[in-house]
Amino acid sequence: MGVQTLYARLPILNRIAINFSSSGDNTVIAADSVNRIVIHRLWLTVGGATNLTFKDNLASPAPISLGQYGGITFDATGEPWLITDVNTAFIINSSNAVQVSGCIYYTLAV
């Protein structure tokens, strides 16, 4: 019974792979016409030096510089890391054409 209570409080997260190698805007999670995309956890690695910009509902997101074989981890904290507007895709912009691989854990919310 204790296990059921614990799992009843945890949100069920969707999981999607990050896998692209082109520069510019890369749609990682397609827009939802009713909900916001709420990113709770993310990890990724890059195959070469690049600047990554996560495009959500911020007016001017800051790029993150990564060297060859660099990586990022946004661990689950109970608070979302990024939130898009309704009907807005979650996009990762890469300044260089390098392999970007990883995983995103997210929910949809009104």
Q: What is the pLDDT of residue 56?
A: 79
Q: What is the pLDDT of residue 2?
A: 41
pLDDT in tens, the chain (110 residues): 444 444 455 568 999 999 999 999 999 999 999 999 999 999 999 999 999 999 877 766 789 999 999 999 999 888 899 999 999 999 999 999 999 999 999 999 98
- Does 89 fall in a domain? yes
- Does 67 fall in a domain? yes
Question: How many domains, the chain?
Answer: 1
Q: Which residues contact 38 (CB under 8 A, 6 or more apart)?
A: 80, 82, 83, 106, 107, 108, 109
Q: 3-state SS string over the chain?
A: CHHHHHHHHCCCCEEEEEEECCCEEEEEECCCCCCEEEEEEEEEEECCCEEEEEECCCCCCCCEEECCCCEEEECCCCCCCEECCCCCCEEEEECCCCCEEEEEEEEEEC
> Do 97 and 23 touch, CB atoms closer than 8 A?
yes
- Does 21 fall in a domain? yes
Q: Which residues pair with 71 in a beta bridge?
A: 45
- Does 7 fall in a domain? no
Residue 85's domain spans which residues? Answer: 12-109
- Does 100 fall in a domain? yes
- Does 5 fall in a domain? no
Q: What is the pLDDT of residue 11?
A: 66
Q: What is the pLDDT of residue 10?
A: 53
First CA to last CA distance, the chain: 31
- Does 102 fall in a domain? yes
The CATH number assigned to the domain holding 20 equals 2.60.120.340
